[in-house]
Structure formats: C-alpha cells, structure tokens
Structure 1
C-alpha cells in the first residue's frame, strides 16, 4: 500500500470556527459570537485507502470575531475588537498560543470516521472523540466536523461581566470544514 499525507489549512479554503452562547440574568445584552481561527494546519496520514493519523494545530492569537447574534446593539468594528481582546485574555493566548489535536486511533464510521485522540487547550490535555463526516464531491472530498468543548475542562474560566449576570456559556461549539482534491 502507498502512504500519503494530506495537508489542510485556511489558505486552501478550510475553516475552523468557535460558536459561543450567552447565559445569566443579563444574557440578552450579550452577543452569541462566531470566532474564526485564521491560522491553523491539519494533516491526515493515509495508508492506502485508510486514514491512520490526524493532527490539527490552531494558533490562538489568529482568532477573529466574525460576527455576533443578539445583544442590545449590533456587533461592529470596535465591539469586535473588544470581544477579540476578551477572548485572547480568556484563552491566555500569550502563555498558551496553540491548541493541538492528535489522533490515537482512526476508525471508519457511518458517513466518515471517528477519531479517538488527545486535545490540548490552555496547557491541559484531555482524551476526546471527534466524529468527522466525509462527502465525495466528485473531484474532491468535503470534510466536516462539529463538536462541543467544555471550557472549564481545560482550566478556562468562561468570560463574564456585570458581576456574572452575563457570561459566556461553558460549552462552545467547534466547527471544522475543509476540502481536499482527489
């Protein structure tokens, strides 16, 4: 069998994003954010027709606030910059500039693969299971995944203000999408 490696990143049209929620008595004042990670790279190692290993590294300082729903006022330029600054502080991006995933096992599942591996965020590593959907697009493969990450599992205190009456929900949704030509 022939082994190959797929390299995926944002420059090839892939996206990695985080979706937050808001809770608390004053939650209507806050925005549910979509945050994009602009610098990341992933590899998929193949042995013939079977993927054997997957890694992904995301650069925390590269985050950008793409948009926000809800809130009292629209989320525009200055507010996006404040939200980005708050997110970087929450992630402690100066001390922990990368988020890393490495698979230990890759198994075929219904419409794709199940990746059992380790996720490192904020200096803490946890075992996780990631389901990845793979769709044949004819000339390419579309790869998608959506998973929930609990911030406190990694020692991250969700952002809050107004003495805790408005805070980011502990569970955030991480979405990944990429395409690889055949």
Structure 2
C-alpha cells in the first residue's frame, strides 16, 4: 500500500506518538524504562508522490499532554503516584510547559518513495529549534516512523535522581504510528 498525493490531517483520533526513554548510571536498576504517550496533538501533511521534495509535514504537540503509559525494569513496579510525579517533572523541570506550552515540527526536506521516506525538519522544544530526521515507511494503510532525539541538543538536562546515580539516557526515541485522513 502506498499513500496517494494530496493533503492530509492526523492526530490522536487516527494515530499515536510515543516517546521511549532508557536508564543509565550506577543506579539504573532502581529506575524504569518509560513509554510516554503524547495525548493532545495534530498534524498536517501535503504529499507529492511525483516529486517528494514538494511534500511537507507540520506537527504541533501540547507539551503538557505527555502521559506515562508503561515503565519496565526497576526494582519495584511503577505506581500511579510514580506516574504522576514523572509527568509533573516532565512538565515543570524538563519541558517548562508554563513558558513553552507547544512543541512543533516543521519539515524542511522530504525524500524517498511513497513506501519508504525520510523527513528532515526543525523540531522546537522548550523554545529551542534543532534539525531532526524522521525515518518512516508506509504499510497496511499506516504511516510509521521514528526519530532519535538527543535531549542535550535542545538544552534539556536528562532527568537524574539518587545524586546522579540514576539518569535517563540523553537519547530518547520518538515513534509515530499514523493513519492519514484526507482533507476534504
């Protein structure tokens, strides 16, 4: 299955954006590898199958809408209060959502085929924009893609606890699974 040329929208009704974190440091056994879902977001895509460079993608995320879905590993299971605390830290100390309520992605370059592509663009997190590349493919009427985000490139200090013995890795993986809805 490939995508047809046209204009499309997408959001939580037709897809998911998940952020995957991993642990590092001497205390890594105490923490959890997290899967965090973005729950409020929307995007637009214009797809030109004849000339992929004429395609474009924009995504806008409510930075306060990240919710911890799962936590694996760790000495003890992740509790509801653990999830709430992590979400509070993400909003207040990592993303500073009071000053930067939106995360945006705007493509600057699209290439590949209708089945396999990569998109380069500016990702703005907490007021800082950096270039990021999304690798993707189209299969079973779904667009799936991923990008690795090195938090420190956006001025974000990865979360740490236990006096630095437990840290989140600087790299997080963002995975997309989207159903595109033709704009009428």
**TM-score of the aligned structures, taking structure 1 as reference length:** 0.89
Is 1:72 aligned to residue 68 of structure 2? no
Whether contact under 8 Å (2:9, 2:181) holds in the other structure is no
CA distance in 1, matches of 2:69, 2:50: 36
Whether contact under 8 Å (2:35, 2:69) holds in the other structure is yes
Write out per-residue CA displacement over residues 78-131 of structure 1, whole angstroms, 9 at most, x where no aligned residue: 111111112212111111111111111211248422212111111111122221
Is 1:82 aligned to residue 85 of structure 2? yes
Is 1:62 aligned to residue 65 of structure 2? yes
CA distance in 2, matches of 1:50, 1:76: 49
**Greater share of residues in strand:** 1
Write out per-residue CA displacement over residues 117-147 of structure 1, whole angstroms, 9 at most, x where no aligned residue: 1111111111222212112x3xxx2101111
The alpha carbon displacement at 1:49 in A equals 5.7
SS at match of 2:76: coil
- For 1:3-22, what aligned pairs fall within 5 Å after superposition? 4-12=6-14, 14-22=15-23
SS at match of 1:84: helix
Is 1:121 aligned to residue 122 of structure 2? no
Structure-1 residue corresponding to 2:169: 169
CA distance in 2, matches of 1:33, 1:81: 13
CA distance in 1, matches of 2:73, 2:146: 22
CA distance in 1, matches of 2:48, 2:25: 49
Unaligned runs of 5+ in 1: none
Structure-1 residue corresponding to 2:101: 97
CA distance in 2, matches of 1:64, 1:157: 19
Structure-1 residue corresponding to 2:24: 23
Structure-2 residue corresponding to 1:37: 38
Superposed CA RMSD in Å reads 2.0
Aligned length: 176
Task: Name the structure, 1 or 2, with higher relative contact order (CA <8 Å, separation 6+).
Answer: 2
